[in-house]
Homo-oligomer: A and B are copies of this chain.
């Protein structure tokens, strides 16, 4: 554990950062080996002994890998693209589950579980849908020692599995709305660059599937769910998002329209899709024959009513969210976890415990520490004490900082004499600004208040940064330079697919003079991220043209474009 202790001066950190660049390369090779071969103990030791050895600003990809591995969020396996969600990340997922379950229960959505395997016949019932997923499906062909008669798909998503069931379950308008949700694992096999949390072959998510009598009711729910998704990001993960609708080019295969929340990774200036809520219209209902008699139709006594197709939605939220949170909040010391999703919100580190100290004095100090811990526990704070005596204080500070615990409380003989604990905020890098003395008599209220403050400050900082990098561009000449300045941009646009493709092509591979090329995505063009719900200037003014000079059409909406994950 060689990284800078928080009390060291920033200059030293800067110096160390440069020294560490070489080390980072070796580290990277080691990590890659571990990924492909399962790794040996020696390599694992190397990983554990040193802190984060690369600055976030220098190599985001390498930084990200180190932060999640050393922060024990995730571990590699011997299958590329399949990851272990360690307790540090899985606990965040559980907080998300609890939060979202409470919200959807109020909407009368019911949780359930559908099988992992989908028959090929079933999967192929919706053409556009299967075309969208065909390249990504993993197939089971053998069971025990035998070849299966018919291969089975490992679910990439459950529309087709669930809607077969819906067609049996929904027999009257009285069975509507039908609102089901499942928390499960899905597999999407084919992709180019796996990236932990963001792009993996198996991931965890919830998929909600609902059927409604009217288009209006379905449309209302789509937005309600989008609000809940935004709330998970903003209120739990302290991650700002922009709500909007996808353009036709970017929507879900088989949907009428797709609403979305879009995040932003400042370190690379790229957008990232955070979650989507789709209105499927009556498309699947037609394929799966999900119809009911229209209760609102006026008919004469004894006359049969028309059968009408139901209106369906589907919406999903994945473990990708955890990766986005890490990318936005993490810093050169490691993870920074927002208090509301931190398994450990407060770590108490006893300080000033020396070898010379009398046993009785140490015991008295530890008794006081225990009393502080109990007070906080009673105030519903998730708190732990680091009593490890085989590690020094500097090691412990670094360890908990790397793991992102939002608040550290130090307590030693000097604090005891003053009747205080010394607090240190993880989210503020400057040690002077992050520290405070809290009277022990007030911690039951002061610590929860401080945690809320940290949560709010983290969100406010990230919001300000996103806002500063979400800029209005009116003319094509400013388009690529704005992208190269690590922004996402709002442009007047015709919203048509061909024009989007053209923009993507024309904004690819163009770097402003003197700007560093992003080696990971040197030629990535900008795509449309969403049509924001909140339109700049209250919407497109009459006569405005599409930003693409080759297009020449009238602009219809402000559309957010950006390079993206």
Partner of A174, one of B168, B171, B390: B390
| Contact B204 A113, beta carbon cutoff 8 Å | yes
Known contacts A136-B144, A184-B185: A90-B111 contact under CB 8 Å? yes
- B-contact bits for A103-138, CB 8 A (1 contact / 0 none): 000000011111111010110000000000011111
**In the complex, A151 has a CB within 8 A of chain B:** yes
Q: For A187, what are the chain B residues with a Cβ–Cβ distance below 8 Å?
A: 116-117
Contacting residues, chain B, for A138 (C-beta < 8 A): 140, 142-143, 152
Q: How far is the CB of A240 from chain B (nearest CB, A)?
A: 27
A87 x B110 contact (CB < 8 A):
yes
Cα of A86 to Cα of B116 in the assembled complex, Å: 15
Contact of A142 with B136 in the complex, beta carbons under 8 Å = no
Contact with B along A150-179 (1 / 0, CB 8 A): 011010000001001101110100100000
Determine the residue in chain B with the shortest Cβ distance to A84.
B114
Q: Which of A21-29, A72-80, A360-368 contacts B (4 or more CB under 8 A)?
A: A72-80
Beyond A77-B161, A84-B165, is A151–B144 a contact (Cβ under 8 Å)? no
Given A140-B139, A164-B78, residue A94 in contact with residue B111 (CB < 8 A): yes
Chosen A-B contacts, 28 in total, with CB atoms closer than 8 Å, are A38-B164, A41-B167, A48-B171, A75-B165, A75-B168, A75-B169, A77-B114, A77-B165, A79-B152, A82-B116, A84-B112, A85-B114, A87-B111, A87-B180, A90-B113, A116-B154, A116-B187, A117-B202, A135-B144, A137-B144, A139-B140, A139-B141, A140-B141, A141-B141, A143-B190, A144-B190, A174-B388, A185-B185
Judged by a CB distance under 8 angstroms, whether A83 is at the interface is yes
Copies of this chain assembled into the complex: 2
A→B interface (CB under 8 Å): 38-39, 41, 44-45, 48, 75, 77-79, 82-87, 90-91, 93-94, 110-117, 119, 121-122, 134-145, 151-152, 154, 161, 164-165, 167-169, 171, 174, 180, 184-185, 187, 189-190, 202, 204, 388, 390
Given A141-B141, A143-B139, A390-B174, A115:B79 Cβ within 8 A? yes
Question: Which B residues are CB-close (under 8 A) to A136?
Answer: 144
